[in-house]
Structure 1
Amino acid sequence: MRKYTLPIALSLAMVAVLGWGIYQYNEKNDYHTYLDIQFQRQFYELIGHVENAQVNLSKAMASGSNKDIVKFLNDTVQHSYMAQEKLTQLPFHHGGIRGIEKFLSQLGDYSTAMLNKSLEGVVLEEKELNTMVELHDYAISLSEQLVELQQKVASGGVNFGDLRREGNRNLKELENQMKDFNLITFEERLLEYPELIYDGPFSDHLKDVKPRLEGKEVKEEEVPSIITKAFENHKNDKISVTGQTRYQPLEGYYVSIYNDNTEKGYEATAAVSKKAGKIIWYMNPVQTGKSNIDRTEAVKRAEEFLEKIGYTNMKSTYTMAYEGQIVINFAYEQEDVLIYSDLVKVKVDLGNGNVIGLEAQGYLSNHYERAIKKPAISEDDARERLSSSVTEQSVRLAMIPIPGGKEILTYEFKVKFGKDTYLVYIDAETGEQRRMLLMVDQKDGTLVI
């Protein structure tokens, strides 16, 4: 009997190993199937929001009632921002995606500006209506291209859940498919529309810089502890690395965060840089939708959070609040000079004060200690370059980026002309006026044109 004992034991062990392997294989497949379903749903919702945005914009243009115009423009704004949020959650890394994201932001921003004029009873001018027509045409084109892309991806058998696997052939296939669409040139076709200042009036100059981030390279197994140190509310959650970032300025890991009670499609996601292990971005879709804390308290919560995760000397600049949440833009301050290139955005839930969003790529790509020279001209000399028609409200030194990847030191004057407020940037070395921006303060935030 003994001579059969070892073979039987080995056979049982092999069966156990085989069974465990099959179990792990099925678990992995189930997870990627789950991801595929979620990404498919987000893609459909993205298309739906784009279509709803362009429909509501057309209704606003066709309506003769000021009350209805306000309603339709408000719906356009909400769908534009929701589409932008869905887009950022999809595993697309094609260059044209950036253009789409910018367009959706511009669509929401311009609609917000027109909404506020309508609320004041101002009749929209022909030039403004023409701009809305152009935005509407772009939205129709984008919607058609997204539907076509979705159909082609589906017919090609590409699994969205597999796209985060490093070196996945489906990802390369999808990137090649996207080259057949006008999405790749979408950014080139965009016109100069207003943008929200909370996203940085100089952010367009920061897209393609070579990241300055330095530090020890972190391993995949270190990522969960990085997340839990930053977000204590996730210390008992399941945190897993689902892939690595591709075609992005900062190399890093994609992260999924969920627990047994997380509703499907509502897991938090993040990206952590390989160098130094910094959180590039974080999104938690679960929000209360209520407003129990005010703007001042929300900014305080955001400041404390940034200090906790190692972002010191950050100064809040502008904010945008909507649907029970607030996005706060921070810029680095060095020697009392505001550095607009080093941007961090924090989203706070106004219901419970929790941080539900972080975007730090601008800071991580651009931050370093500058050798700031003393201004060549005095504040009074710079003030003399202002128009005699304006009334000064405040002034501060600010470093702003200019084309070519350079930065210049300026005096940032906030001035009033009539009922309007402007930001005027005077070069601290030459006295030349470098930039002038119109600020539109509103209940939800600040627009800059």
Structure 2
Amino acid sequence: MKKNFKLYIGLAALALATSCKPSLDEFEPAKGSADFSQFIAVGNSLTSGYADNGLYLAGQRVAFPNLMAEQFKTVGGGAFTSPFFSEAEANGSGYLRLKGFDENGSPETEFVPAQAERGKNALGNPLYTKHTDPIQNLGVPGMRLDLAFAEIFGSQFGNPYFERLLPENQVGKTTYMQYAVSQEHTFFSFWLGNNDVLGYSMNGAAATDDPTKTMISVAQFTQLYNAFINGLTAKQQKGVVATIPDVTVVPFFNTVTLQMINAGLAANPATANLKLLIKTKTGVRPAEEGDLFGLTFRANIARFGQNGYGFSPLNPIEDSAVLDKAEVAEVLQRIKELNAVIKQVADSKDLALADVNAFLNKVKAGYNYNGVHISAAFITGNAFSLDGIHLTPIGNAVVANVFIDAINAKYNSKVPKIDVSKYGGVSFPN
């Protein structure tokens, strides 16, 4: 019996020791053929952590490249610094905060004042606290691919978020493209092109002299995208590029609907028999299904009926306030064409491709991601912040994983993915 007892103990110990060894199927982080030691992130507001209609410290901290950089540390990634506002300037440029809900259940927001303004330019627009130390998160809110090649965009009359990153001797003399490609790097993420379509869409595709509200041509996009990527890969660096999302998937364009507007008109005896009239490029017509109204259209609704606004053919909803269905088709076609360019460049340069467009199209109707429900619904969808365009912490974590999936697939890497359940959506009032 004693011998058998010792034998059982020995077998049990052996089994325990064997079970503690990692199996061949367990995930062990590995860099694959990529070198993550010097990672930089090139992009716009999405890259910077802009959220809730502002750039502020809490949003900056959860920007998707910052989350990626933490994962890269398990596979040889180095330091990754962002141009954070200080704790004393945590409100940054100011941002929207959810205050509560009215008696109809509609959200009410308030604007948290800025804390990081260092002054104004000659036009009275804000200039933000400088941050000229070396950084790796190069995301600049409002950055477009075309304006990334314009020196004026880095001046005090250009983009204040880019201007704050430049030493005084480079202000107005350095393009964003030059700034980005000059940063030492072994790996990069690149997500530009969104604003080259989004600004046009948010302005109802209306004619304008504002360069931030025009839509880039395919020819110009092709030339500039290739030039930028050529600069970033001049030393054979590897990286990941991302597609441009479908603008119709974001809450900004799917929260205030024609159905909702018509229901409001029908509930009021004074407007029950009226039709909403919109101005299009081909003339004035009744609003139809497929026309998109922005999240900010609530302000227009408050003006309904004033001097016939919205109901008279002499005072219809202005072109800039509606993306009509013909313009929607135009924008979606352009996004398709631009994404084809992005995919072609990724293939030619042997870069990873994060197809955010395809992923967010799945999210639009609702999607369970690792046990967390996300959708394009305003506030309740978890993925998008109070401006209806930019990401919540959960949204950033999910998008970071889309990038990581693409990187792992392309470079045979094993970068651990992020546990999105650790992150929140829109912050509710206490």
Q: Given the two structures, how large is their TM-score scaled by the length of structure 1?
A: 0.24
The structure with more helix, counted as a fraction of residues: 1
The structure with more strand, counted as a fraction of residues: 1
Q: Given the two structures, how large is their TM-score scaled by the length of structure 2?
A: 0.24
Higher relative contact order (CA 8 A, sep 6+): 2
